[in-house]
């Protein structure tokens, strides 16, 4: 395998997840960058017209180029695609001022947070008739109960990948993963909120009731788990699995699906204790200069033939039922993309300032018990 | 004390030292003299151990040291650039060698102090090399080598970096020092004055071999080759051919115009050509009052010249003389002597060369 | 020692720069002001602010961030960062010195060729090179494959070597990344080293080891110090290598800071406080080093 393929694989953001990476090898770069954000360029943006480009702020490697090119071809409207690697980075770019974005791609709990701060514009669903293609159980979810602000883009779960050639004993949940005999053979996504949710599910707590008391109970569980973990990786948690450096992973279903495509020895398991189901959405921020175009783009994306292109490239769970009909049997049979049994799944809710506590606790624990 | 036997050194194709045999006696001041690139420094470096001979052996005090690295040889060197350790002060520079030999501390202190005094650096012990003048650095370099009491001290053009006045003073000082400590000195220089002033013996090196080795006066007065005659001191060098050879005396025609009569014993048997060399100060000059032609014809070893150039040299005057046929000679006369006063540029003078002052060299050499 | 007034000390330092001098300095001063001083001021200001629920900076004065920096946990991250950066620096020195020495003493033509070899890795992106290391070290990778082909696995070692996502991989990655920054300044000081000093030491009876210890090492020390600075300072803030090759398991302060600005930490004021603390640490240690150097030369 050459470097380019490698790099592609690592950067292909099939995950919708939080990333801590920007590969500037220095501490000052991000610091200076952040410090200069208020000075960021101000592009004058006039009222929307067909000749002006649509400003899309989306996860890197999440919208296939074919989809964007198709839109331009059909409408003549160019799409300028700015990317981010985490919900937090997106918030940063969105709230900094500067460029006014027309379309963003927040995950469910970030939608909730943005709605709470009145940062999202209500959508005109008259312009989005294709919403009818979306599975009903993907609509009117707690983060947008009236389905006013968001349209589901892709969905997925965070579950367990097992290399069955190395791990003979069946693994059914988090308890089966974090066992002393698996020390040094586990990869997990690098996300404090996720890790806390696994511990809370294991303890039988509601993953969205993150309180100081709950965290006190989570602490000893994670203290036991962290020393067993070999790698924390949100960018490409499948890599250590495929490379043979670890045998077990708690990863995004998109990564799991790719592992499965590569070798059937990788099995995807939805933890019996419960798992996080995430939904990435398309939303229009308040003050977007081209809201109508953005809605036109959303409607375009919801077309079965377009949505199918996304599934081909990024094998998450496609909420678009019409598009699913166009998928191959193989794609639909991938247990990571479309789990055969419905597990105990739950979305994240915004926990506000507690997320800082979560991060602090996990960082503390990793320093204390890691290595 | 030092002996080189059949020593040869090649760098790739280039032969730097070509089959040299050399002996240096105990307590002797020997100078290796030659132009730059002649191999004198390579020769020195083979004694100190920085170069290994391609062939031949190096002996020190009766011991074959050819294979020994420099730090195992009982010799010390004073480097051309002094090579003082810039991070150490004067005292530590001088003490370096003793410390390397694990000399007891008290001993080191005492010997360093004595050496500092001897080279006249008292009060500067704590200075770093970059805070010293050229002459002071020179003394530190000397002290640093001498304090080790080597069997042989090697000096590689140690005075080259000093200005002329300081250099002359150091020449005398160095010579005195050598006589006082009684250590064998092997001194490398390209400066003939330096060699003449300081040495007991001089080895003139040319193209990797020794042209001539001997006491200073012998080298000066009886150079064995044209190269030596030319390199050491000033010399007039003229081609000559035998006109008539008799039992005791031979008549030569020098530069096709000057007749010289010399004892036949000075000329190798059967030689038909030779070179004559003579020092400028040996040319005796008399103002010429007579007609040009008859004089040169009648008096042997005398000839007429014109003063083409007059150079003021301080203590002496240097005169450039031109013969009627255009041969040029140099003569040196004491400044202010009566004869000089009477002679000026353009004047004709009568030159006289005594046969004893003539050095006859084989044409081939 | 009495300080000797040097020519430069007397003229350049004492003379005001003049109009032309100021004009020449203006671009640099502007650059420094815009891209060094101004961000530093903003960083300092941030470090006393707070964050809101969305991670935005709220200008409400608080020293809480610094209290958190000096919490045992973060002091430990700082400690382990210093440990790994220090280890990297020492290993770079041990590996880099002989290379730099060889380069510095080589004939000029070969020197420039060797210099080229040191620079060549910079032609490829840092990321690509790190991924190349990962292909070598991973369990299904080149190294284990070679060991297998050479029958060292499973004849000598029972199984493949687990190298990725270990402290070993992190230190290897750091040493690999920063080795040129150690080699180049040492090479510079070795190249300037007068060869006759080495000969003088040998002449005075110092064998190779003592020549190295007493002469070569002290005289090339400025190069080593510069190299150590160039390796240590960026190593301590490095996060890409710890992330990719260490599986983010070995945390360094750089990771934590980055996490506050671009990751899930979302606490820019805290990240700024960490950054300010780190810079203060560097500044203080630099001043101490400068003072001890001044004392030594006295």
- Beta carbons within 10 angstroms of residue A4's beta carbon: 10
Interface test with C, best of B75, B100, B129 (most C CBs within 10 A): B100
Q: Do B85 and C203 touch (CB under 8 A)?
A: no
Query: CB-hemisphere CA count at 13 Å for A225?
Result: 24
Q: Do B77 and C200 touch (CB under 8 A)?
A: yes
Question: Does residue A48 surpass a pLDDT of 70?
Answer: no
pLDDT of residue B291: 56
Q: Annotate chain B with three-state secondary structure.
A: CEEEEEEEEEECCEEEEEEEEEEECCCCEEEEECCCCCCHHHHHHHHHCCCCCCEEEEEECCEECCCCCHHHCCEEEECCCCCCCCCCCHHHHHHHHHHHCCCCHHHHHHHHHHHHHHCCCCCCCCCCHHHCCHHHHHHHHHHHHHCCCCCEEEEECCCCCCCHHHHHHHHHHHHHHHHHHCCEEEEEECCHHHHHHHCCEEEEEECCEEEEEEEHHHHHHCCCCHHHHHHCCCCEEEEEEEEEECCCEEEEEECCCEEEEEEHHHCCCCCCEEEEEECHHHCEEEECCCCHHHHHHHCCCEEEEEEEEEEEECCEEEEEEECCCCCEEEEEEECCCHHHHHCCCCCEEEEECCHHHCEEEECCC
Nearest by CB to C194, which of B83, B128, B131?
Answer: B83
Strand partners, B184: B152
pLDDT of residue C250: 66
C-beta of residue B83 within 8 angstroms of C-beta of residue B144: no
Model confidence pLDDT, tens digit, residues A126-142 = 999 999 999 998 999 99
pLDDT of residue B294: 53
Q: Do B81 and C203 touch (CB under 8 A)?
A: no
Question: Does residue A16 surpass a pLDDT of 50?
Answer: no
Interface test with C, best of A107, A219, A245, A263 (most C CBs within 10 A): A245
- Chain C environment of B131 (Cβ under 8 Å): 1, 4
**Measured distance CA(C197)–CA(C175) in Å, rounded:** 31
Question: Does residue C264 surpass a pLDDT of 80?
Answer: no
Kindly state whether C249 is in contact with chain A, defined as any CB-CB distance less than 8 angstroms. Answer: yes
pLDDT interval class at A34 (50, 70, 90): very low
DSSP C213: I
Average of pLDDT values for C181-210? Answer: 93
More confident of the two residues B79 and C153: B79
Torsion sign (Cα): A167, A168, A169, A171: positive
C277-281 contacts at long range (C-beta below 8 A, 24 or more positions apart): C277/C66, C277/C69, C277/C78, C278/A27, C278/C78, C278/C236, C278/C237, C278/C253, C279/C40, C281/C78
- Chain C environment of B80 (Cβ under 8 Å): 196
C-beta of residue B27 within 8 angstroms of C-beta of residue B16: no
In A61-197 the beta strands, taken as DSSP E runs, fall at: 79-84, 103-104, 150-163, 186-188
- What is the share, in percent, of chain C residues with pLDDT greater than 90? 47
Average pLDDT, chain A: 84
pLDDT of residue B292: 52
Average of pLDDT values for A204-221? Answer: 96
- Chain A environment of C79 (Cβ under 8 Å): none
Which residue, among A40, A52, A103, A109, has the nearest Cα to A76 in the 3D structure?
A52
For B299, the token pair is 């008096």
pLDDT of residue C297: 59
Question: Does residue B266 surpass a pLDDT of 70?
Answer: yes
Interface of C with B in 179-208 (CB under 8 A): 194, 196-197, 199-207
Average of pLDDT values for C281-288? Answer: 88
Torsion sign (Cα): A121, A124, A127, A129: positive
Kindly state whether C262 is in contact with chain A, defined as any CB-CB distance less than 8 angstroms. Answer: yes
Question: Which of B106-110, B232-236, C39-43, C96-100 has the weakest average pLDDT?
Answer: B232-236
Q: Do A89 and C262 touch (CB under 8 A)?
A: yes
Q: Do B79 and C196 touch (CB under 8 A)?
A: yes
Average of pLDDT values for C246-257? Answer: 81
Model confidence pLDDT, tens digit, residues A236-273 = 889 999 999 999 999 999 899 999 999 999 999 999 99
Question: Does residue A46 surpass a pLDDT of 70?
Answer: no
- Please name the chains neighbouring A, where neighbouring means 3+ C-beta pairs under 8 angstroms: C
Model confidence pLDDT, tens digit, residues A85-109 = 778 778 878 887 778 899 999 999 9
Model confidence pLDDT, tens digit, residues B285-323 = 877 665 555 554 456 778 888 888 888 887 888 888 888
- Chain B environment of C4 (Cβ under 8 Å): 131
Distances (CA, A) of B10 to A350, B52, B189: 84, 10, 21
Cα–Cα–Cα angle for B320, B324, B329, nearest 5°?
25
Residue C183: φ, ψ to 5°: -65, -45
Kindly state whether B76 is in contact with chain C, defined as any CB-CB distance less than 8 angstroms. Answer: yes
pLDDT of residue A31: 37
Question: Does residue B220 surpass a pLDDT of 50?
Answer: yes
pLDDT interval class at A185 (50, 70, 90): very high
**Measured distance CA(C273)–CA(C279) in Å, rounded:** 10
Nearest by CB to A20, which of C253, C264, C275?
Answer: C264
Interface test with C, best of A10, A20, A84, A259 (most C CBs within 10 A): A20
**Measured distance CA(C231)–CA(A353) in Å, rounded:** 38
pLDDT of residue A371: 60
Kindly state whether C225 is in contact with chain B, defined as any CB-CB distance less than 8 angstroms. Answer: no
pLDDT of residue B204: 94
Q: Do B71 and C205 touch (CB under 8 A)?
A: yes
Average pLDDT, chain B: 87
Average of pLDDT values for A33-57? Answer: 53
Sequence-ordered alpha helix ranges (H) in chain A = 3-11, 28-36, 65-75, 87-95, 108-116, 174-177, 192-203, 212-225, 238-243, 253-262, 291-301, 304-313, 321-324, 329-333, 354-369
pLDDT of residue A242: 94
**Measured distance CA(B107)–CA(B103) in Å, rounded:** 7
pLDDT of residue C5: 43
**Does the N-terminal peptide bond of residue C154 adopt cis geometry, omega within 30 degrees of 0?**
yes
- What is the share, in percent, of chain A residues with pLDDT greater than 90? 64
Kindly state whether C1 is in contact with chain B, defined as any CB-CB distance less than 8 angstroms. Answer: yes
ipTM of the complex in this document: 0.81
Strand partners, B307: B321
For chains B and C, what is the number of CB pairs under 8 angstroms? 67
Average of pLDDT values for A285-294? Answer: 93
Nearest CA in chain C to A364: C73
Model confidence pLDDT, tens digit, residues B127-147 = 999 999 988 999 999 999 999
- Ranked by mean pLDDT, the top range of A22-31, A150-159, C279-288 is A150-159
Kindly state whether C255 is in contact with chain A, defined as any CB-CB distance less than 8 angstroms. Answer: yes
For C185, the token pair is 């300044």
State how far Cα A354 lies from the chain centre. Answer: 20
Question: Does residue A26 surpass a pLDDT of 60?
Answer: no
For chains A and C, what is the number of CB pairs under 8 angstroms? 187
- What is the share, in percent, of chain B residues with pLDDT greater than 70? 94
Through-space distance between the first and last CA atoms of chain A, rounded to whole angstroms = 30
Which residue, among C206, A177, A185, A168, has the nearest Cα to B101 in the 3D structure?
C206
Q: What is the pTM of this model?
A: 0.78
pLDDT of residue C169: 92
Helix A354-369 and helix A212-225, axial crossing angle in degrees, nearest 10: 30
Average of pLDDT values for C16-25? Answer: 82
Average of pLDDT values for B160-176? Answer: 87
pLDDT of residue B337: 66
- Beta carbons within 10 angstroms of residue B14's beta carbon: 10
- Chain A environment of C168 (Cβ under 8 Å): none
pLDDT of residue B47: 94
Question: Does residue B6 surpass a pLDDT of 90?
Answer: yes
């Amino acid at each position: 395998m050459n470097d380019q393929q490698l790099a592609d694989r690592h950067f292909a953001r099939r995950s919708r997840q939080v990333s801590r990476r920007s590969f500037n090898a220095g501490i000052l770069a991000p610091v200076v960058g952040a410090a200069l954000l208020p000075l960021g360029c101000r592009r004058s943006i006039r009222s929307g017209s067909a000749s002006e480009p649509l400003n899309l702020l989306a996860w890197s490697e999440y919208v296939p180029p074919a989809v964007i090119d198709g839109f331009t071809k059909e409408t003549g409207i160019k799409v300028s695609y700015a990317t981010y690697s985490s919900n937090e980075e997106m918030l940063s770019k969105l709230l900094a001022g500067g460029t006014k974005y027309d379309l963003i791609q927040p995950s469910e709990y970030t939608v909730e947070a943005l709605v709470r701060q009145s940062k999202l514009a209500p959508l005109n669903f008259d312009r989005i008739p294709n919403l009818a293609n979306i599975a009903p159980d993907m609509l009117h979810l707690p983060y947008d109960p009236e389905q006013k602000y968001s349209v589901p883009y892709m969905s997925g779960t965070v579950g367990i990948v097992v290399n069955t050639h190395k791990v003979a004993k069946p693994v059914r949940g988090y308890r089966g993963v974090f066992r002393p005999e698996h020390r040094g053979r586990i990869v997990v996504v690098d996300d404090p909120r996720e890790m806390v949710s696994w511990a809370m599910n294991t303890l039988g707590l509601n993953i969205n009731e993150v309180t100081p008391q709950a965290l006190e109970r989570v602490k000893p569980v994670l203290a036991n788990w962290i020393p067993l973990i070999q790698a924390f990786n949100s960018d490409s948690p499948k890599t250590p699995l495929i490379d043979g450096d670890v045998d077990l992973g708690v990863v995004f279903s998109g990564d799991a699906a790719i592992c499965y495509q590569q070798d059937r020895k990788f099995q995807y398991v939805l933890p019996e204790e419960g798992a996080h189901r995430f939904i990435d959405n398309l939303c229009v921020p308040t003050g977007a200069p081209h809201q109508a175009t953005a809605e036109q783009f959303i409607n375009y994306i919801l077309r079965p033939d377009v949505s199918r292109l996304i599934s081909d490239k990024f094998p998450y769970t496609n909420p678009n039922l019409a598009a699913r009909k166009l998928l191959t049997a193989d794609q639909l049979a991938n247990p990571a993309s479309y789990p055969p049994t419905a597990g105990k799944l739950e979305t994240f809710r915004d926990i506000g300032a507690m997320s800082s506590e979560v991060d602090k606790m996990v960082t503390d624990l990793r320093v204390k018990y890691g290595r | 004390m030092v002996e080189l036997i059949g020593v040869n050194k090649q760098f790739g194709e280039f032969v730097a030292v070509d089959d040299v045999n050399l002996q240096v006696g105990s307590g002797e001041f020997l100078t290796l003299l030659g132009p730059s690139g002649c191999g004198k420094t390579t020769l020195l470096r083979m004694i100190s151990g920085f170069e290994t001979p391609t062939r031949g052996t190096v002996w020190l005090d009766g011991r074959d040291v050819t294979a020994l690295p420099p730090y195992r040889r009982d010799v010390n060197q004073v480097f051309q650039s002094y090579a003082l350790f810039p991070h150490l002060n004067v005292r530590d520079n001088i003490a370096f060698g003793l410390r390397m030999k694990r000399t007891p501390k008290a001993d080191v202190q005492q010997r360093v102090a004595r050496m500092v005094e001897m080279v006249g650096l008292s009060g500067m012990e704590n200075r770093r090399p970059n805070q010293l003048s050229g002459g002071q650095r020179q003394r530190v370099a000397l002290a640093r080598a001498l304090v080790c009491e080597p069997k042989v001290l090697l000096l590689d053009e140690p005075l080259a970096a000093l200005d002329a006045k300081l250099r002359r003073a150091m020449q005398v000082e160095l010579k005195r020092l050598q006589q006082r400590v009684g250590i064998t000195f092997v001194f490398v220089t390209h400066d003939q004055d330096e060699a003449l002033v300081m040495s007991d013996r001089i080895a003139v090196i040319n193209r990797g071999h020794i042209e001539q080795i001997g006491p200073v006066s012998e080298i000066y007065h009886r150079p064995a080759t044209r190269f030596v005659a030319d390199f050491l001191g000033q010399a007039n060098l003229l081609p000559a051919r035998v006109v008539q050879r008799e039992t005791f005396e031979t008549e030569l025609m020098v530069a096709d115009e000057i007749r010289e009569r010399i004892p036949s014993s000075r000329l190798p048997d059967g030689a038909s050509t030779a070179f004559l060399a003579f020092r400028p100060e040996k040319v005796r000059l008399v103002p010429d009052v007579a007609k040009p032609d008859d004089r040169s014809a009648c008096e042997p070893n005398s000839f007429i010249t014109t003063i083409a150039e007059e150079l003021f040299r301080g203590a002496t005057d240097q005169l450039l003389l031109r013969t009627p046929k255009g041969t040029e000679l140099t003569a040196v006369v004491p400044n202010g002597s009566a004869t000089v006063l009477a002679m000026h540029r353009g004047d004709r003078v009568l030159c006289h060369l005594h046969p004893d002052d003539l050095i006859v060299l084989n044409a081939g050499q | 020692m009495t300080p000797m007034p040097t020519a430069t000390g007397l003229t350049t330092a004492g003379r005001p720069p003049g109009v032309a001098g100021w004009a020449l300095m203006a671009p640099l001063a502007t650059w420094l002001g815009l891209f060094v001083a101004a961000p530093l001021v903003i960083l300092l200001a941030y470090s006393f602010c707070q964050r809101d629920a969305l991670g935005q900076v709220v200008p409400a004065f608080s020293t809480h961030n610094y209290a958190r920096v000096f919490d045992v946990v973060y002091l430990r991250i700082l400690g382990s960062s210093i440990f790994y950066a220090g280890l990297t620096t020492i290993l770079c020195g041990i590996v880099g010195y002989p290379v730099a020495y060889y380069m510095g003493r080589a004939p000029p033509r070969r020197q420039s060729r060797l210099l080229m070899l040191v620079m060549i890795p910079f032609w490829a992106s840092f990321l690509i090179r790190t991924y190349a290391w990962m292909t070598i070290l991973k369990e299904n990778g080149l190294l284990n494959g070679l060991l297998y082909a050479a029958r060292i696995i499973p004849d000598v070692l029972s199984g493949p070597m687990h190298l990725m996502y270990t402290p070993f991989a992190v230190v290897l990655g750091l040493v690999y990344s920063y080795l040129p920054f150690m080699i180049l300044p040492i090479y510079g000081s070795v190249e300037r080293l007068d060869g006759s000093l080495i000969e003088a030491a040998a002449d005075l009876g110092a064998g190779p080891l003592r020549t190295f210890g007493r002469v070569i090492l002290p005289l090339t020390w400025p190069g080593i110090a510069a190299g150590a600075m160039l390796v240590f300072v960026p190593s301590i803030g490095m996060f890409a290598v710890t992330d990719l090759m260490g599986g983010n398991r070995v945390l360094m302060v750089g990771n934590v800071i980055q996490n506050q600005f671009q990751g899930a930490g979302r606490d820019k004021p805290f990240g700024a406080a960490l950054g300010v603390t780190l810079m203060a640490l560097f500044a203080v240690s630099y001043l101490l080093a400068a003072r001890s150097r001044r004392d030594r030369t006295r």
